[in-house]
């Protein structure tokens, strides 16, 4: 089974993360970029839904086993390649010429929560699963680009709270702050709601992409001009 599975349901591209906790490493980044390549090449695609095949997790964020092993072995190029790869995933989602909808059917922690924030819209199951930025507890600072695009999805006061406390937030709380479109009954309902919402889109990709470029152009500039020096200096962990 592929780490990232791509298929189409009519005009909707469905991207399924298939690696249990869906921890992010170079293979994960490559799989996501391949899925984005396919969706962008298929002009009939009008929306994308990102889901997980795991019963408990949407994405648990960075694969710390990969990162710690690369640190120990001083595989600096591998670490840099991973960080650049995930930044490309985030930027491609931010600029995709169609709406990208996260169907969060389990835990979204760290880079997993950031992946959801790089999407245009989010639905999340309410019966189980948390949304959390635990970086403050595992000594990993946010990249400037991450801060920039998370603030487009999470109101500043809530983001400041979550970022500095590392606390876990439920779908119901996220819904109150309009971080998600809806807190759904369970995992199947989350996917169904995301697909129903995706099916409402039939926008011209040219104008949709231009709207996103103008909305997020400043974030791409931050990624290119502020993230790059930190990645090159490997200031990835405190």
Residue-wise pLDDT tens digits, 10-19: 999 999 999 9
Contact assessment for residue 115 and residue 102, using Cβ atoms and an 8 Å cutoff: yes
Radius of gyration of the CA atoms of the chain, in A: 17
Q: Nearest 5°: phi and psi at 2?
A: -65, 145
pLDDT tens sequence across 120-131: 999 999 999 999
Q: Which CATH number fits domain 4-198: 3.90.226.10, 3.50.50.60, 2.40.50.180, 3.40.50.970?
A: 3.90.226.10
- Which parts of the chain have pLDDT scores under 50? none
For residue range 79-104, list pLDDT tens digits in order: 999 999 999 999 999 999 999 999 99
Q: What is the pLDDT of residues 215-224, one digit of tens each?
A: 999 999 999 9
Per-residue model confidence (pLDDT) at position 238:
53
Q: Within 10 A of 48 (CB to CB), how many other CB atoms are there?
A: 26
pLDDT score, position 236 = 66
Transcribe the chain into DSSP letters: --SEEEEEETTEEEEEE-STTT-BSHHHHHHHHHHHHHHHH-TT--EEEEEESSSSEEE--B-HHHHHHHHHTT-HHHHHHHHHHHHHHHHHHHH-SS-EEEEE-SEEETHHHHHHHTSSEEEEESSS--EE-THHHHT-PPPHHHHHHHHHHS-HHHHHHHHHH--EE-HHHHHHTTSSSEEESSHHHHHHHHHHHHTT----HHHHHHHHHHHHHHHHHHIIIIIHHHHHTT----
Give the per-residue pLDDT at 234.
Answer: 84
Q: What is the pLDDT of residue 85?
A: 98
Residue 231 is predicted with a pLDDT of 95
Q: What is the pLDDT of residue 235?
A: 73
């Amino acid at each position: 089974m592929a780490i990232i599975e791509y298929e189409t349901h009519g005009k909707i591209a469905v991207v399924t993360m298939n690696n249990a906790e869906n921890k992010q490493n170079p293979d994960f980044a490559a799989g996501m970029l391949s899925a984005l390549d396919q969706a962008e090449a298929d002009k009939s695609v009008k929306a994308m839904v990102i889901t997980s095949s795991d019963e408990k997790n949407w994405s648990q964020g960075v694969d710390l086993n990969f990162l710690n092993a690369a640190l120990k072995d001083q595989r600096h190029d591998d670490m840099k390649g991973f960080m650049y790869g995930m930044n490309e995933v985030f930027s491609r989602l931010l600029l995709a010429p169609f709406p990208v909808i996260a169907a969060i059917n389990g835990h979204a922690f760290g880079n997993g929560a950031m992946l959801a924030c790089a999407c245009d819209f989010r639905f999340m199951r309410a019966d189980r699963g948390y949304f959390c930025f635990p970086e403050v507890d595992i000594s990993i600072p946010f990249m400037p680009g991450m801060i920039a695009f998370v603030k487009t999805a999470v109101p500043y006061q809530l983001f400041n709270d979550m970022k500095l406390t590392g606390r876990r937030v439920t779908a119901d709380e996220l819904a109150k702050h309009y971080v998600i479109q809806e807190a759904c009954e369970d995992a199947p309902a989350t996917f169904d709601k995301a697909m129903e919402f995706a099916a409402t889109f039939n926008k011209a990709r040219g104008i949709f992409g231009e709207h996103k470029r103008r909305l997020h152009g400043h974030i791409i500039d931050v990624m290119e001009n502020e993230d790059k020096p930190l990645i090159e200096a490997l200031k990835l962990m405190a």
